[in-house]
Structure 1
Amino acid sequence: MRIDETIAALERVAAREVGRGSEALAAPAAGGLLAAARSLASAGAPDAAVLTGFFIPGAEPPAAETDGPLGAVQIAAALRLLGGRCRLVTDQPCAPVVEAAVAAAAPGLPVDVAPLRGYDEWAAVLLPRYGRLTHLIACERVGPGVDGRPRNMRGEDIGTHTAPLDRLYRAGSAFRIGIGDGGNELGMGLLPADLVGRVVASGERIRCVVGADALLVGGTSNWAAAALVGALSLLRPDVPGLRTLLEPAWSSDLLAAIVSAGAVDGVRRRPTLSVDGLDWPAYAEPLAQIADLVRSAR
């Protein structure tokens, strides 16, 4: 199997259907994984920022969800192995979980935390730096809908808990990669509006209008992030450490760390060792398939 064929297989595994229309949403985004991986791998030393953190205000207790930070740190760790620079970006409500993920799996990785109040002043300081980045990657980061408000899968407006990081995401000339699973994340504006409206519950209302240069759709966003790391390892076989990041045990350890820090399952809305309602065995199966595909590639 050629490398591009294996990457296409990774893309299909990541988009495994979990009951929210990911396979249908992934169809028009086909090829996005290859485009994203090629852009990063060919950058020499990419200088990137990964935006993540999806706050669940209705959880008990309210916190960022387990989908997103795990995949964001996995990507950031991969980019550092490639010799690049990377930083994570989140906002105050999601910061405890994102910072715990960094401490557990990528110590020393910079984390920029946006305030909910005084955002414009905070962003003004960072915009010159962000304008020089080679890549901006959004991993399960909610974005504005057609009415300008960020909404969760239930259609609830979570704007009072969410900093407008889409403004940073759209700044400068960086290559933008979007990773999502439900239509309401940054990057999903690349998809046809009628498709999101037809496939996703309340899709017309919650769909994000911000697009990307390359879109990765997963059954969970973490799966799509793992597929991106898998694709990078195929394009850069000279960096063997990338494959270590694909082992399910790596994700298991990080999931345990962020749940201990308060992360919640976004579907169950409570802190459990699960992602989007999937207990570890079901969640880990695509991760194992991604690792196997990369391991068996020649």
Structure 2
Amino acid sequence: MEERFFHQLEEIIRKNLNQRGIEHVRLMGQLEEAAAELFNGSRIFIVTGFAIRQAMAGETDGPIGAVALASALEQLGKETVLITDCYSSSLLHQALKVKGMKTPVEIISHGEELDMSKQILKKYRPSHIVAIERPGRAADGKCYSMRGEDLSDLVPNTDILFEQAKQQRIPTIAVGDGGNEVGMGKIRSQVIRTVYKGDQVCAVFATDILILAGVSNWGGHALAAALSIKARRMLLHDQEAEIRLLKTIVQSGAVDGCTKKPTLTVDGLSLKDNLEILNCLRGVVELALSADQSFCKSVS
């Protein structure tokens, strides 16, 4: 019975994929698989933060979805660790304050990625690692913006953390929206064919599970919604919390990744557009919970 609700969640977050060039890619069932993995996990790494050179700060897409997922997992009794770089660390710290969370934040530094990756894996021993809107290295070893701007001198190479995790047989999950994020190597051939400058920008690392979303925050929200369905209780925050989170990270320096401006938008989409997706996801959860209660009554 749950399967149809997971399918609905996946369909909702596909909005805007036509603007990315990957609207024809179908990876159905990945959200349900990811939720099952995380539901049975114990300590989860969530890696996020996409630096914008013009602002020397992180963008509005990524941190909110990461914190939403961390909150859902912690409500289920899981431990989470957020991992980012210096450009998005303050955004995460401030977002966590909004949610009243004390989740640890680890910062990966440029040039120290291998040592730091080994250290934090040994320190926390995660059961799973998730990327939400995190730049991934392309075939030439560089990482790029969706327009093909080289960000390699700016962005620490967190592919190394995922490579180390995979060597330790830690399941890897990613959320991406454009092809240049960690995990999108799973659909590399499609990205090369259909995404603008796809052969240049496509990330090569392929995660075990990949969730495609028109905006990566939506993928984090969809994971929180999927966990809600499995837990049979609402774990995804409401629109008032979403507004507070967006306002807070923008005040902390975040910019829209498309416009490069400090506005209450994400990937060029208005606050209204983003709230519509959030409310649709919550609506699916509410339907699932209602259906579950009706089923319980019918068999009692």
Same fold? TM cut 0.5: yes
1:174 equivalenced with 2:170 (yes/no): yes
- Where does residue 69 of structure 1 map in the other structure? 63
Pick the aligned partner of 2:272 from 253, 271, 281. 281
Alpha-carbon deviations, 1:89-109, whole Å to 9, x = none? 001122222222222224311
Gaps of 5+ in 1: none
Runs of 4+ in 1 over 4 A off after TM superposition: none
Letter in 1 for 2:252: A
Secondary structure, counterpart of 2:174 in structure 1: strand
Letter in 2 for 1:6: F
- Where does residue 7 of structure 1 map in the other structure? 6
Greater shift, 12-21 or 85-94, is seen at 12-21
Identity fraction in percent: 34
TM-score normalised over the length of structure 1 = 0.91
- Where does residue 198 of structure 1 map in the other structure? 193
Shift of 1:87: 0.6
Letter in 1 for 2:147: R
- Where does residue 31 of structure 1 map in the other structure? 29
Shift of 1:22: 4.3
- Where does residue 226 of structure 2 map in the other structure? 231
- Where does residue 260 of structure 1 map in the other structure? 251
Letter in 2 for 1:101: A
Gaps of 5+ in 2: 292-300
Higher-Rg structure is 2
Pick the aligned partner of 1:145 from 118, 138, 141. 138
1:83 equivalenced with 2:77 (yes/no): yes
Q: Distance in 2 between matches of 1:200 and 1:88?
A: 29
Q: Distance in 2 between matches of 1:127 and 1:236?
A: 28
Could you tell me whether the CA contact under 8 Å between 2:22 and 2:191 is conserved in 1?
no
Alpha-carbon deviations, 1:125-184, whole Å to 9, x = none? 223235x31110000001100111111111011011111111112222211110010011
Pick the aligned partner of 1:214 from 209, 212, 231. 209
Shift of 1:80: 0.6
Change (3 A) 1:258 1:287: same
Could you tell me whether the CA contact under 8 Å between 2:136 and 2:203 is conserved in 1?
yes
Secondary structure, counterpart of 1:274 in structure 2: coil
Q: Distance in 2 between matches of 1:107 and 1:231?
A: 21
Aligned pairs, how many? 285
- Where does residue 48 of structure 2 map in the other structure? 52
Could you tell me whether the CA contact under 8 Å between 1:15 and 1:218 is conserved in 2?
yes
Could you tell me whether the CA contact under 8 Å between 1:81 and 1:241 is conserved in 2?
no
